[in-house]
Chain A
Amino acid sequence: MKDFMFIFRGPTPEDLKLTPEESQASMQKWFEWIGELSAKGRYVGGDPLLKEGKLVQGKKPVATDGPFAEGKELLGGYFIIKAESLEEATELAFGFPDFEMQGSVEVREVMKIPMPS
């Protein structure tokens, strides 16, 4: 099996202004998705990213403050999962719970460099 990265983008929880009940419901959906991926032996792990950060760029590099993208383009976290193919990984990404909240998932295969034999 190959490793894939799910890259999540979307509005931050701050921007969504969820009520306590909605927060809990949203969290429950994530638990179910992760549970499903784990049950299939596909889930490896993941982390959320904090909103604050710096961007360093330029030929004479300078650091600037985030945010780095507007609203729904903001990177919010990632998963590493296992799948047989990009097709299977993509299918698994359909379980992402936040599509309704303007979220998106980018699916990328983690490149493994083969040892020269």
Chain B
Amino acid sequence: MNAPSGESPQQLVDHLFRHEAGKMIAVLTRIFGIHNLELVEDTVQETFLKALQAWKYHQVPDNPSGWLMQVARNKTIDLIRRRQKLSDISEELAFRLQSDTEHTIQQFFLDTEIADSQLRMIFTCCHPALNPEDQVALTLKTVSGFGVQEIAKALVSNETAIQKRLYRAKEYIKKHSIRFEIPVGLSLQDRLDSVYTVLYLLFNEGYNSVKADELIRYDLCAEAMRLCKLLEEHRVGSVPPTFALLSLMCFQASRFNSRIGDDNTIILLQQQDRSKWDQGLIRLGYYYLNRSSSGDQLSVYHIESAIAAEHCLAPDFESTNWSSLLRLYDCLLERKPIPVVQLNRAILLAQLQDLPAAIDAILDIPGIEELLKRHYIFSAVLGDLYGKAGNTDEARRHLQKAHELTTSLAEKKLLREKLDRIDKI
């Protein structure tokens, strides 16, 4: 019954439990097998319960994560002992088997092995056979230690839908005996690619989703970066595309706080207060971009990071190097010929004062008629360009369509302002 010493309240590192949950789940999965994920999750839950009770009333131990790991390890050894009751062998053999097992389990809890287990978990959750939305949900649950409700909030979904995705992913893994391993040889490249895709998705979900609340979006971006860092620190992930993806995330994250105004409106790149950009993250972005330049692999992340870097380089919007950006977009388009990239390239043409070419470039996007009817961003940009080109009728028509399509209040407000300006002409 000792009182905590000191007068100021004790404090834990932010998200300590989440991060430790990810570690413990990974280590225990390596011991019990991926088919026992429920057992693993229950054991981790029990570990936290113990910490919750002990720490609440008494002192937080000096090394909280070491404490948690030790409790998890003891619980694991207990469980294994109970399951390993063999009656047909001598006491001596049973004893030896037991101590071998315990020795092996101890090894799994070494730091380097923990990192290894976490990588295995990332590769398993991002297995290319799972569909993308299940990959994201499973990664958040088992690697990042998010609860179902938190995942639902982060992905702007509901708990039932998330439960369903998790169930589907776990069943698939069991049924198809997907191995809990770090891929080697030729398959490593493909498997890394699918990890990148999931991390990229996770980051963008946090960065771009206008519906989720700001706090959880920030968490998502930070989590994507943390996982990318885990990958980067491990020998198999320490390769140029990982550095490129991490640098891209750093550049984007540096603008996180300047892109939403006080009244929750979106602030476009053009109007952002560049003094609010996080210089520390920008420096980190350059550091990883440099590291990504070795070798002969050029991934989409290299190009996207170079694009983001170009924006960070410009002291103000007007001095952006548009022609350099255009070259980068041409490169990106070769690898990623998708409408959004084509749209962004068209915006660059407009910045380079070639409005007719910009408008044509948009109208040339395959399937543009459908896109204009379904996705507000195409109508919004096209309307904007028509406005700049002085074609007020077309401008009004497309901006109105965009206003009708978007569900985001912030976007609606922005579009309304543009429409009002046109009406004044």
Q: Which of A's residues lie within 8 Å of B, judged by CB?
A: 13-14, 17-24, 26-28, 30-32, 34-36, 38-39, 43-48, 77, 80
Known: A14-B49, A19-B147, A77-B57. A44 touches B3 (CB 8 A): yes
Stretch from B6-14, B196-204, B266-274 contacting the other chain: B6-14
B304 at the binding interface (Cβ < 8 Å): no
B389 to chain A, nearest CB (A): 50
28 contacts between A and B (CB under 8 A): A13-B52, A13-B53, A14-B49, A18-B52, A19-B148, A19-B149, A20-B17, A20-B20, A20-B145, A21-B15, A21-B17, A21-B18, A21-B146, A24-B15, A24-B17, A27-B12, A27-B51, A28-B11, A30-B56, A30-B57, A32-B9, A35-B10, A38-B3, A43-B3, A44-B3, A46-B1, A48-B54, A48-B57
A11 to chain B, nearest CB (A): 12
B9 to chain A, nearest CB (A): 3
Known: A45-B2, A47-B1. A31 touches B11 (CB 8 A): yes
Q: Is the CB of B17 within 8 A of A35?
A: no
Q: For residue A39, which residue of chain B has the nearest CB?
A: B7
Known: A13-B53, A19-B146, A77-B57. A31 touches B9 (CB 8 A): yes
B21 at the binding interface (Cβ < 8 Å): yes
Please report the C-alpha to C-alpha distance between residue A22 and residue B124 in the assembled complex, in whole angstroms: 26
Please report the C-alpha to C-alpha distance between residue A43 and residue B53 in the assembled complex, in whole angstroms: 18
Q: For residue B147, which residue of chain A has the nearest CB?
A: A19
- Chain B interface size, as a band, is 20 to 34
Please indicate which of the listed interface residues B1, B9, B11 has the most CB atoms of chain A within 10 Å of its own CB: B9
Please report the C-alpha to C-alpha distance between residue A20 and residue B143 in the assembled complex, in whole angstroms: 12
- Which A residues are CB-close (under 8 A) to B21? 20
Q: Is the CB of B17 within 8 A of A48?
A: no
A17 to chain B, nearest CB (A): 8
Please report the C-alpha to C-alpha distance between residue A62 and residue B21 in the assembled complex, in whole angstroms: 42
- B76-98 interface with A by 8 A CB criterion: none
B16 at the binding interface (Cβ < 8 Å): yes
- The proximity string for B residues 129-148 relative to A, scoring 1 for CB distances below 8 Å and 0 otherwise, is 00000000000000001111
Please indicate which of the listed interface residues A24, A36, A80 has the most CB atoms of chain B within 10 Å of its own CB: A24
Known: A31-B9, A35-B8. A45 touches B149 (CB 8 A): no
Q: Is the CB of B17 within 8 A of A36?
A: no
Please report the C-alpha to C-alpha distance between residue A34 and residue B146 in the assembled complex, in whole angstroms: 27
- Which A residues are CB-close (under 8 A) to B15? 21, 24
Please indicate which of the listed interface residues B2, B3, B15 has the most CB atoms of chain A within 10 Å of its own CB: B3
Contacts A20-B20, A48-B57 aside, 19 further interface pairs with beta carbons under 8 A come to: A18-B48, A19-B145, A20-B145, A21-B150, A24-B15, A24-B18, A27-B56, A30-B56, A31-B10, A31-B56, A31-B60, A35-B4, A35-B9, A38-B7, A39-B8, A44-B1, A44-B3, A45-B1, A47-B57
- Which B residues are CB-close (under 8 A) to A30? 56-57
Q: For residue A19, which residue of chain B has the nearest CB?
A: B147
A16 to chain B, nearest CB (A): 9
Q: Is the CB of A35 within 8 A of B57?
A: no
- Which A residues are CB-close (under 8 A) to B11? 28, 31
- Which A residues are CB-close (under 8 A) to B3? 34, 38, 43-45
Please report the C-alpha to C-alpha distance between residue A47 and residue B53 in the assembled complex, in whole angstroms: 9
- Which B residues are CB-close (under 8 A) to A36? 9
- The proximity string for B residues 146-190 relative to A, scoring 1 for CB distances below 8 Å and 0 otherwise, is 111110000000000000000000000000000000000000000
Please report the C-alpha to C-alpha distance between residue A19 and residue B45 in the assembled complex, in whole angstroms: 8
Please report the C-alpha to C-alpha distance between residue A17 and residue B103 in the assembled complex, in whole angstroms: 32
Q: Is the CB of B147 within 8 A of A24?
A: no
B148 to chain A, nearest CB (A): 8
B317 at the binding interface (Cβ < 8 Å): no
Known: A21-B15, A21-B18, A44-B3. A27 touches B52 (CB 8 A): yes
Q: Is the CB of B1 within 8 A of A28?
A: no
B55 at the binding interface (Cβ < 8 Å): yes
Q: Is the CB of A38 within 8 A of B147?
A: no
Please report the C-alpha to C-alpha distance between residue A36 and residue B12 in the assembled complex, in whole angstroms: 17
Please report the C-alpha to C-alpha distance between residue A46 and residue B12 in the assembled complex, in whole angstroms: 20
Known: A31-B11, A36-B9. A24 touches B1 (CB 8 A): no
Q: For residue B15, which residue of chain A has the nearest CB?
A: A21
Please indicate which of the listed interface residues A20, A22, A26, A34 has the most CB atoms of chain B within 10 Å of its own CB: A20
Please report the C-alpha to C-alpha distance between residue A18 and residue B49 in the assembled complex, in whole angstroms: 9
Known: A30-B56, A45-B2. A23 touches B10 (CB 8 A): no
Q: Is the CB of B49 within 8 A of A34?
A: no
